[in-house]
A and B are shown apart, each in its own frame.
Chain A
C-alpha cells in the first residue's frame, strides 16, 4: 500500500517520457494526483503505525503532511492541465516527468522513518524541482535556478554533515549507530551532547534552507518569482511542509534526548528573524510574486516560532501547516493567472485585476485576506492558537513582537494586493480569460481554508494532537 503511493507516480514517469500526445501527458498529472489522494485516504484509514525497524511507514506526523500535500498536488495538477494547454510553446516533456518525480520524492520523504532516507528524498525533490523553476527559459529563470540549486545543495550538504554528527553522537554515547528514527529516539538519553547540538544546528541550517527560514531564504524570492504559479504553489505549500516535517523529525530526536532547552530558543530566534525580515521586505515590494515569497518566509517563521515555544503553540503550528499550504496554493495559482493575463508581475504594470479577471482577481484578493489571518479563515484560528500558546507560556514580549510584525505584514501586503486588484486595467482586451480548471482548484483550496476556519473535523483534531505529542513527547 505504502509502496504503491511512491510507485504510482514513478510508474507514470516513463509513460510521460514516451507518450507522444501532448494532451495525454498533461492529463497524467491529475491522474497521478487523484490516484495518490485516493491511496492516501485509504492508507490513512487502514495502515497502522510503522513497525519499529521499518524504513518506510506512517506516524501521525507523516499522515498530517500527506494529508496536506496530496490534495494540494491534485489541485495543482488539475490547474496544470489548462496551464500547459495555454503554454504549448514551452512543451511539457520536462514539466510532467519532473512533477511526477517530485510527487514520488515528496511521498517518500513524508513516509521515511530513516533520517538518511529522508535526506535523500529531500535532495531528490530539490533536483526534481530545479527544472520546474527553469520552465520559462530566460535569463531571469536561469539566475533563479542557479541560486536555488547552489544554495539548496550547500544546505543539503550541511544537513548531511549534521546527520553524520548525530550518528557520531550515538557512536560517542555508546549507542548502536543508526539513523533509524526509532533507534535514535531510543538512544536519545545517551547521545553525546556536543555532537548532538552541533548536528542539530547543521540540520536546522540544512532543512531551514529548504524551508526558507531567514537568513537562509536568499533563493526563495527569486525561485518563487520566476517559477510558474503552480510550481510556486507546490513549493510554498508542499516542499516547505516537507522541510518543516524534517525539522520536526530532528525536534523529535532532540525531545528524546531531553535537549529541547537548546533546540527551542534557536528555532524561536530563526522564526522571529524570518517574520521581521518578511515584514521589512514586504513593504514597498514592487513585484507581487516576490511578495508571495516573502509571505511564505513569514509563515515559515510562524511555524518555527510555534515549535520554538512548544505546547499549545506547537499544536497551532501544526494546524497552521495545513492552513498555510492550502491558502498558499490558492494565492500562488491566482497570482499566476494574473501574471499570465497582464504578462507582468510588476505592480507598476498591473492594475484592475478585479475588473479584468473577475474570478482570479477575486480569488487573489480573498486569498490575501485568508493568508494574513483575517477571520473567519482557518489561518486566523491557527495564528490565534499560536499566539495564545505564546502568551500562555508567559512570553509576553515574544507575543507582542509577533503581533506587531503580523500587523506590519498585513499592511505591507495589503497595499500591494489592493493595488493589483483595484483600479481600471490599462489594457481592456487581454489575451487571457479565466478558464474553469484555472480557477476551480484555487477556489476549492480557499473553501477548504474557510471550512477549517469554522469547523475542524474531529479526526483532524485528533491527528494534530497526536502529532504534537510525537514532537514534544508526553510533556
Chain B
C-alpha cells in the first residue's frame, strides 16, 4: 500500500504547483477539491481498512473533496470572479518559490529525527511543502477567495502530518481538523458575502482603511 500512498502524495504536490501557477480561480478550486479527495484516500492507504480510518476518509472526502469546494464554487459564481489578477507576487516567482520550498522540504525532512517507520517516506516532506504552499498563497494573492484556497491548502498540509499520528491519537483531534475546516470556511463564506455586498468586489486590497 506504500505505493498508493506515495502516488497520492505526489498528486498532492502536483496540485500544489498547479494552485501556485494558475490564475483561474475555478481551476484552483477544482484542484484543491482533487487534493482533498486524494487526501481522503491516504488514511486508508497508510493504516488499512478499519472503522477509524474509514470515518476519517469519509469525513475528509465529504468536506475537503466535496462540500467546501462546492461552497467556494458557488461563491465565485455569485460574485463572478474568474481570475486572480495581478497577485502581489507574480505567478512565476511564487511557482519558483514553491518549488524551492518543496525541494527544501525534501532535503530538510531527511535530517529530521523521525521514528524508524517514517524515515525516507514522502509524508513529512509533502506535509511541509503543502504547508508552505498554503502560506505562499495566503500572502501572495489579493482575492479573498484565493486566500481561502490558500488556507485550505495549509490545512491539508497539517492533515497530512496528522495522518502519521492517526493511529496513535484519539479521534478527537482529527475531528478537530475537519470541524475547523468546515466552520472556518462557513464563517468566511458569510463574511465574503458581506464583503461582496459592501465593496462589490472580493479584493482584499480594498480592505486597507484600517491602519496606523
Do any beta carbons of A and B sit within 8 angstroms of each other in the complex?
Answer: yes
Residues of A within 8 A of B (CB): 114, 116-117, 119-120, 123, 127, 130-131, 134, 137-140, 142-147, 149-150, 153-154, 156-157, 160-161, 163-164, 167-168, 171-172, 177-179, 192, 194-195, 221-222, 225-226, 281, 285, 290
Q: Is B106 an interface residue (CB 8 A)?
A: no
Q: A142-B194, A192-B113 are in contact. Are A147 and B187 (CB under 8 A)?
A: no
The answer on a CB contact under 8 Å between B207 and A143 is yes
Q: A134-B191, A146-B191, A154-B151 are in contact. Are A164 and B165 (CB under 8 A)?
A: yes
Chain B, 145-167, contact with A by CB distance < 8 Å: what is the 0/1 string? 00100010011001001101100
The answer on a CB contact under 8 Å between B209 and A153 is no
The answer on a CB contact under 8 Å between A146 and B144 is yes
Residue from the list B112, B188, B207 in contact with A194, Cβ < 8 A: B112
The answer on a CB contact under 8 Å between B154 and A154 is yes
B107 to chain A minimum Cβ distance, whole angstroms, is 16
A291 to chain B minimum Cβ distance, whole angstroms, is 10
Residue from the list B161, B170, B195 in contact with A146, Cβ < 8 A: B195
The answer on a CB contact under 8 Å between A116 and B191 is no
Q: Is B173 an interface residue (CB 8 A)?
A: yes
Q: Give Cα distance in the complex from A339 to B180, angstroms.
A: 35
Please name the residue on chain A nearest to B204 by beta carbon.
Answer: A146
The answer on a CB contact under 8 Å between A147 and B138 is no
The answer on a CB contact under 8 Å between A172 and B195 is no
Please name the residue on chain B nearest to A195 by beta carbon.
Answer: B113
* A and B contact pairs by CB, cutoff 8 A, 25 listed: A134-B191, A137-B194, A139-B199, A142-B191, A142-B195, A142-B198, A143-B209, A149-B188, A149-B191, A150-B147, A150-B188, A153-B184, A154-B151, A157-B158, A164-B161, A168-B164, A171-B165, A171-B168, A172-B113, A172-B114, A178-B170, A179-B173, A192-B113, A195-B113, A222-B210
Residue from the list B169, B191, B194, B199 in contact with A167, Cβ < 8 A: B169
B-chain residues with CB within 8 Å of residue A143 when the two chains form the complex: 207-210
Which 10 A-B pairs rank lowest in CB-CB distance, beginning with the nearest? A177-B168, A143-B207, A116-B173, A222-B210, A161-B158, A120-B176, A153-B184, A164-B161, A139-B198, A116-B172
List 19 additional contacts besides A130-B191, A157-B158, A194-B113; criterion CB under 8 Å.
A120-B172, A120-B176, A134-B191, A134-B194, A139-B198, A142-B194, A143-B208, A144-B210, A150-B151, A153-B184, A156-B180, A157-B180, A160-B158, A164-B165, A177-B169, A178-B169, A179-B169, A179-B173, A194-B112
A-chain residues with CB within 8 Å of residue B113 when the two chains form the complex: 172, 192, 194-195
The answer on a CB contact under 8 Å between B191 and A145 is yes
The answer on a CB contact under 8 Å between B212 and A281 is yes
Q: A127-B187, A167-B165 are in contact. Are A146 and B207 (CB under 8 A)?
A: yes
Q: Is B177 an interface residue (CB 8 A)?
A: yes
Contact residues, B29-73 vs A (CB, 8 A): none
Residues of B within 8 A of A (CB): 112-115, 131, 138, 144, 147, 151, 154-155, 158, 161-162, 164-165, 168-170, 172-173, 176-177, 179-180, 183-184, 187-188, 191, 194-195, 198-199, 204, 207-210, 212
Q: Give Cα distance in the complex from A147 to B211, angstroms.
A: 12
B189 to chain A minimum Cβ distance, whole angstroms, is 11
Q: Give Cα distance in the complex from A38 to B90, angstroms.
A: 58
Q: A139-B209, A140-B210, A154-B138 are in contact. Are A149 and B187 (CB under 8 A)?
A: yes
Q: Give Cα distance in the complex from A38 to B176, angstroms.
A: 31
Residue from the list A116, A140, A154, A192 in contact with B209, Cβ < 8 A: A140
The answer on a CB contact under 8 Å between B180 and A123 is yes
The answer on a CB contact under 8 Å between B210 and A161 is no
A413 to chain B minimum Cβ distance, whole angstroms, is 15
B80 to chain A minimum Cβ distance, whole angstroms, is 19
Q: Give Cα distance in the complex from A150 to B168, angstroms.
A: 30
Q: Give Cα distance in the complex from A352 to B103, angstroms.
A: 62
Q: Give Cα distance in the complex from A127 to B209, angstroms.
A: 23
A-chain residues with CB within 8 Å of residue B194 when the two chains form the complex: 134, 137, 142
Please name the residue on chain B nearest to A219 by beta carbon.
Answer: B210
The answer on a CB contact under 8 Å between B176 and A116 is yes
A18 to chain B minimum Cβ distance, whole angstroms, is 21
Q: Give Cα distance in the complex from A131 to B190, angstroms.
A: 10
Q: A146-B191, A221-B212, A281-B212 are in contact. Are A164 and B115 (CB under 8 A)?
A: no
B53 to chain A minimum Cβ distance, whole angstroms, is 16
B-chain residues with CB within 8 Å of residue A139 when the two chains form the complex: 198-199, 209
Q: Give Cα distance in the complex from A147 to B161, angstroms.
A: 27
B-chain residues with CB within 8 Å of residue A221 when the two chains form the complex: 210, 212
B-chain residues with CB within 8 Å of residue A194 when the two chains form the complex: 112-113
Q: Give Cα distance in the complex from A448 to B168, angstroms.
A: 47
B67 to chain A minimum Cβ distance, whole angstroms, is 17
B35 to chain A minimum Cβ distance, whole angstroms, is 16
Q: A142-B194, A145-B191, A147-B207 are in contact. Are A160 and B212 (CB under 8 A)?
A: no
The answer on a CB contact under 8 Å between A160 and B176 is yes
The answer on a CB contact under 8 Å between B154 and A157 is yes
The answer on a CB contact under 8 Å between A290 and B212 is yes
Please name the residue on chain A nearest to B117 by beta carbon.
Answer: A171
A-chain residues with CB within 8 Å of residue B208 when the two chains form the complex: 143
Please name the residue on chain B nearest to A290 by beta carbon.
Answer: B212
Name, among B115, B155, B207, the residue most crowded by chain A CB atoms within 10 Å (CB to CB).
Answer: B207
A-chain residues with CB within 8 Å of residue B210 when the two chains form the complex: 140, 143-144, 147, 221-222, 225-226
B-chain residues with CB within 8 Å of residue A137 when the two chains form the complex: 194
Q: A116-B173, A149-B188, A150-B147 are in contact. Are A164 and B158 (CB under 8 A)?
A: yes
B-chain residues with CB within 8 Å of residue A130 when the two chains form the complex: 187, 191
A-chain residues with CB within 8 Å of residue B183 when the two chains form the complex: 123, 127
Q: Give Cα distance in the complex from A351 to B199, angstroms.
A: 33
B-chain residues with CB within 8 Å of residue A134 when the two chains form the complex: 191, 194
Please name the residue on chain A nearest to B176 by beta carbon.
Answer: A120
Please name the residue on chain B nearest to A162 by beta carbon.
Answer: B158
Residue from the list B131, B138, B176, B195 in contact with A161, Cβ < 8 A: B131
Please name the residue on chain A nearest to B173 by beta carbon.
Answer: A116
B-chain residues with CB within 8 Å of residue A149 when the two chains form the complex: 184, 187-188, 191
Q: A140-B210, A150-B151, A221-B210 are in contact. Are A177 and B195 (CB under 8 A)?
A: no
Please name the residue on chain A nearest to B157 by beta carbon.
Answer: A161
A-chain residues with CB within 8 Å of residue B177 when the two chains form the complex: 160
